[in-house]
A and B are shown apart, each in its own frame.
Chain A
C-alpha cells in the first residue's frame, strides 16, 4: 500500500509541474497587458512602466517563470494587481467559501444520487425508474447558468423563500473566522440565527452546483447496481435465502460503489471549476468569483493561483479515490 501511495504522489507532483508550465504559458501568450489595464485607460507610459516594474512584468519571460517557480516552492503565488494582495492571502480568504459550497453540493449529490440510483436499479423499468432517468438526463443536460436564473426567479423573487445571492444577509452578524466557512463557523460559534441565514443563502447555489454531479452519480450507480444485481454471486446469495435488503445493501452496493467513487472524485474537481458560473450568478464570494474578476482584469497571478489550487484539490480528491479503490479492491493497487 505504501508503494502504491508513493507512486500516486509522484504522479501528482509531475502533473502539478505540468500544470504550472501550461498555466504560465497560456497566461503569457494572450495579447493582454495586465500592467496597462491596471494602470487605467488614461495612464501615461511612465505609469504603465511603474506598474510593470512593481509586479516584475518588465523581466524577460524565462526569468519571470523561474521566479514564479521559486516563489511557488516557498508557498508564494505572487501578488494580484487587481486586489494588491498576495494571491495566497486572497486564496485563503476565498477557498473556504467555495469549499463549503462544493462540500454541501457533493454531500447533497451523494445523499440523493446514491439511494435514487439503487432504488432505480431495484425497480428497473418502473415509472419511478423512468422519472429518475429523466432527472438524471436533465441534471446533465440543462445549463447551470439557466437553472440558476430560473430558480432565483421562482424561489427568490416570486416565492420569496430564499435570498437572491450572497453568503449572508447584510444585517446578519458574521461569525468569528475559524475555518472561513461561514455556515460551519456560525455553528461552531453557536450563532444559530446566522447559521440559519447562511444555510438559506447556500441552498440555491449548492443545489445548482450539485445537479450534474447528482445526475452522474445516479446514472453510474444505477448502471452498476443493475449489473451487479444480475451477477452470479448475487443470484447465488438470493438462492441461499439471503434477505433482499441484505443482498442490495451489502453485496450489491459495495461492489457498485467502485465506479461511483471514481465519478465522485472526478466530479469534485469539476465542481470546483463550475463554481465560476454558480458563484457569479449567486454572488458567492469564493474562488470562482475571484477567478472571474481576475480574468476580466487580465490579472494572471490569481488566475494561475486558482488554476493550481483547483488542480491540486482535484488531484488530491482523485488520490483519495485511488486509495479508497485500493482499499475496496486490493487488486487495483498494482495498477
Chain B
C-alpha cells in the first residue's frame, strides 16, 4: 500500500466515524453563505485580461454578458441582450438590451457600457481578445441608442455569438474614474469589480479567500425562493487535494472541486456527502511531433495509435470517463462521431512494418506535467503498449511552463506530449483551427501539424454561412485530422465535485472549465 492510499484510507475511516452532521456553511443573520473550494487562485479578476476557470467563475458572479450558456447540451440564452438579429451577409449583429440591468453603483447598464467593454477588451489585446480580434475592429462596435448595440464584422463569422458569454460588461464610469495613465483601469480591476452581476465583492484576497455578498435586488432576479437566497458566497483556495478534502469533511467548506478519483470515491461513501459526476468536455490528448523525429512518420503515428490501450484509460479513471469518438470535444458544434483507432496489435505491427525502423529499437519521449498522477499513469500505459513494437518510452515529468516552452518548436517538442484540450465555447472554428498550420507551436498546436488541405477547409468553414455546407466542411476536417493522426485521441474524464448534502441548485454545464461551477443558483437548504 503506498502512502497516498494509506492516507486516503485513513481519512475515509476516520471521517466515517467522526463526520460532524452539523451544517458547515457560514451564516449572516438568517441567511447562509456557501463556501466553495478549489485549487487555483484568482490573481487578476479583470474580465478582459484573464479567463482561466477560477477567474471566470468569479467573473460570472460579478459581471453579466450579453448572452450566456445554459443547459446540456450547451445552448445560448439571452441575458443582458433580450434579443438579437443578424444581417443577411452575416456582417452586422444587432443586440437589443434589457432596460432592467443596473451596475452595482446604481448606474444603468446601457449600450454605451457594452460598446466600451468590447472596445476595451479588443484594445487591451489580452485574455479574451483572440476570440474576436480577427473579425472585429474596436471602432466597429456602435451604441445605436441606449438599448441597441451593433457589431460590424470584418468578414462573416457565424461563430461570433458563441464567444459572447465570455465578454463581460464593465461599468465605464468606474473604470475611467480609476484609470492610471493609459492603463484602461487594468491595475484597479485586478482585485476590484465594476460589474452588474448577482454578487459584489466583500473581501478580496485573490490568493486565498474571496468573499462575495449577494446583491439582494439583482436585476435578473434570483433562481431560488427568497428565504433560500444566500447572503453571499466564498471561494477559498486550498492548493492541495488532501487538505481540500479534509476541509470539506470538517465542514470548513461546503463544495470542493479538483479532488482526485480516489478522494471522490472515498467521499461518495460518507454520510452527508454528495458527489456531482457529470460528463466532462475537455479531452485528454497525446500530441505527437509531426515534424521532427520518428513520429514525423505517419505510419509510426498510426502504429502508436493502434497499439495504445484505450481501455486502460477507463480503468485509470475508475470508469468515470469516456473514450473520444472524434477529434472535436462533445460540446463543439458540427462534431461528428468517427471510427477512431482502437487497440489492434496486428494493425499496429502492420503500420510499424511500413516505417523506416520496422523492428523498433528506438526511444520516444512522453512528456507530461509534473505532479499530475493521471498523466503519469497514462505514460506507463503507453510504455507497456509500445513495448511489443520494440519502442522504448521515456516517461518524463516537467513543470507546466517547461512543457509549453518546449512545445513551441518542433526542434524541442517531445515526441509525445500529454495535454488537456479545454474548449471554452461551442465554436467549431476554434477547435478546427488547432489543427491548422497557423496553430503550430501554440499550446494546442504542439503537434506542429502542417497540412494545406486542413488550412484551406478551416478558412472556408469559418466564414461559411450556409449551415449544411459548413457542417460538411467541419466533418471533412475531422476526418482529415484522424487520417493524419497528429494526436492520440484519448478520453474525456468526468467532471466531479464533492459537496455537503444540503447544497442545492447545483447545475452542471459542459462548458464549465475544469473545476468551475456556476455559483449563482447554489444555496444551502434549510433543515
Q: Contact at B207–A285, with CB atoms within 8 Å? A: yes
Q: Which chain A residue has the least Cβ–Cβ distance from B242?
A: A149
Partner of A157, one of B14, B26, B208, B430: B14
Give the segment of A17-25, A35-43, A111-119, A120-128 that binds chain B: A35-43
Chain A residues near B49 (CB, 8 Å)?
84
Check if A43 sits within 8 Å of B130, measured CB to CB. yes
Q: Mark B119-133, 1 if CB is under 8 A from A, else 0.
A: 000000111011101
Q: Which residues does chain B contribute within 8 Å of A152, judged by CB atoms?
A: 242-243, 246
Q: Which residue of B lies closest to A41 (CB)?
A: B443
Cβ contact within 8 Å between A295 and B399 = yes
Report if A41-B442 is in contact (Cβ < 8 Å); known contacts: A82-B43, A152-B246: yes
Which segment, of B293-301, B309-317, B401-409, faces chain A?
B401-409
Q: Is A297 an interface residue (CB 8 A)?
A: yes
Q: Select which of B125, B234, B238, B242 is within 8 A of A47 by beta carbon.
A: B125
1/0 per residue B39-59: CB within 8 Å of A?
A: 001011000011110000000
Q: Is the CB of A156 within 8 A of B246?
A: yes
Find out whether the CB atom of A156 lies under 8 angstroms from the CB atom of B404.
no
A239 at interface (Cβ–Cβ under 8 A)? no
Which of B247-255, B259-267, B336-344, B380-388 is the interface stretch? B247-255
Q: Which residues of A contact B131 (CB under 8 A)?
A: 42
Q: A42-B130, A46-B125 are in contact. Are A83 and B11 (CB under 8 A)?
A: no
A144 and B446 alpha carbons, distance in the complex (Å): 37
Q: Which residues of A contact B10 (CB under 8 A)?
A: 153
Q: Which residues of B contact A298 (CB under 8 A)?
A: 399, 401-402, 405
Q: Would you give the 0/1 interface string for B1-40, flagging 1 where the beta carbon is closer than 8 Å to chain A?
A: 0010001001100110010100000100000000100000
Residue A164 CB within 8 A of the other chain: yes
Residue-wise interface mask of B (224-239) relative to A, using a CB-CB cutoff of 8 A (1 in contact, 0 not):
0000000000101111
Q: Complex formed: what's the CA distance from A219 to B51 in Å?
A: 51
A34 touches B401 (CB 8 A): yes
Stretch at the interface among A8-16, A165-173, A189-197, A206-214: A165-173
A303 to B41 Cα, complex, angstroms? 17
Binary B-proximity of A35-78 (CB < 8 A = 1, otherwise 0): 01101111110110011000000000000000000000000000
Asked whether B250 lies within 8 Å of A164 as measured between CB atoms, the reply is yes
Find out whether the CB atom of B404 lies under 8 angstroms from the CB atom of A33: yes
B444 within 8 A of A: yes
Say yes or no: B125 contacts A289, CB within 8 Å.
no
A83 engages B250 (CB within 8 Å): no
Residues of B within 8 Å of A285, CB to CB, are 205, 207-208
Chain B 419-447 interface mask (CB, 8 Å, partner A; 1/0): 00010100000100000000000111000
The answer to whether A160 and B399 touch across the interface, beta carbons within 8 angstroms, is: no
Chain B residue with the shortest CB-CB distance to A157: B246
- A148 nearest in chain B by CB position: B243
Q: Which residue of B lies closest to A283 (CB)?
A: B238
Could you tell me how many residues of chain A have their Cβ less than 8 Å away from some Cβ of chain B? Answer: 51
List the B residue with the shortest CB-CB distance to A149: B242
A263 to B14, alpha carbons, bound, how many Å? 39
Nearest-Cβ distance from residue B414 to partner chain A, whole angstroms: 11
Q: What is the bound-complex CA distance between A83 and B133, given in angstroms? A: 24
Chain B, interface size category, equals 35 or more
Interchain CA distance A34-B405 in the complex, whole Å: 9
Q: Which of A30, A39, A42, A282 contacts B401 (CB 8 A)?
A: A30
Are A33 and B408 touching (Cβ within 8 A)?
yes
Q: Which of A170, A292, A293 has the most CB of B within 10 A?
A: A170
B11 to A, closest residue via Cβ: A153
Q: Which residues of chain B are near A160, meaning CB under 8 Å?
A: 18, 20, 250
Quote the shortest CB–CB distance from B494 to chain A (angstroms).
Answer: 22
Residues B41-100 near A (CB distance < 8 A): 41, 43-44, 49-52
Least CB distance from B16 to A in Å reads: 11
- Say whether A164 contacts B246, CB under 8 Å: yes
1/0 per position for B173-198, CB-CB distance to A under 8 A?
00000000000001100100000000
Most chain A CB within a 10 A radius of its CB, from B126, B203, B401, B443: B401
Contact of A296 among B3, B187, B400, B422 (CB under 8 A): B400
Q: Are the CB atoms of A84 and B186 closer together than 8 Å?
A: yes
Residues on the B chain within 8 Å of A163, using CB: 252
* Contact A289–B207 (Cβ < 8 Å): yes
Given contacts A84-B43, A293-B207, 9 further A-B contacts (CB under 8 A): A33-B408, A146-B3, A153-B10, A157-B18, A157-B250, A163-B252, A164-B243, A165-B247, A298-B402
A-B contact pairs, 19 of them (CB 8 A): A31-B405, A40-B127, A42-B424, A44-B129, A84-B187, A152-B242, A152-B243, A156-B246, A157-B11, A157-B246, A165-B238, A165-B243, A174-B203, A281-B243, A285-B205, A289-B239, A296-B399, A296-B400, A298-B402
Residues of B whose CB lies within 8 Å of any CB of A are: 3, 7, 10-11, 14-15, 18, 20, 26, 35, 41, 43-44, 49-52, 125-127, 129-131, 133-134, 186-187, 190, 203, 205-209, 211, 234, 236-240, 242-243, 246-247, 249-250, 252, 399-402, 404-406, 408, 412, 422, 424, 430, 442-444
